[in-house]
């Protein structure tokens, strides 16, 4: 049986690319923190955001533009906003 083509969305692709860059940037900022205790605290808090961005990227590559990928993007945005509100870099 033929596999169904995945639906693509340019806007979501741009948001995923921006999310990847943001995650890389924040991760680099966290690695630049000199105090190990604070660095670990920030890294632990940011781990959920990082995982959500990775999951979004993989999900979009496999399935394309779906309700689940839209939900994952919303989850990522919420987690990022919460992290940025709680932690100051």
pLDDT tens, position by position, 30-55: 999 999 999 999 999 999 999 999 99
Burial class (CB in 10 A: 0-12, 13-18, 19+), 62: exposed
Confidence (pTM): 0.89
- The answer to whether residue 55 sits within a structural domain is yes
Give DSSP secondary structure letters for 43-75: HHHHHHHHHHHHHHHHHHHHHBS-HHHHHHHHH
Domain that holds residue 44: 10-86
Question: Does residue 2 form part of some domain?
Answer: no
Count of structural domains, the chain:
1
Establish if 3 belongs to a structural domain.
Answer: no
Task: Quote the mean pLDDT of the chain.
Answer: 94
Name the strand (E) or helix (H) holding 14: helix 10-31
* Sign for the pseudo-dihedral over CA of 21, 25, 26, 31: positive
């Amino acid at each position: 049986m033929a596999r169904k083509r995945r639906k693509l969305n340019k806007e979501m692709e741009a948001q995923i690319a921006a999310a990847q860059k943001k995650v890389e940037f924040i991760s680099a900022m966290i690695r630049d923190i000199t105090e190990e205790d604070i660095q670990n605290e920030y890294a632990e808090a940011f781990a959920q955001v990082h995982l959500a961005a990775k999951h979004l990227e993989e999900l979009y590559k496999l399935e394309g533009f779906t309700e689940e990928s839209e939900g994952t993007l919303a989850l990522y945005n919420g987690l990022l906003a919460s992290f940025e509100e709680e932690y100051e870099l």
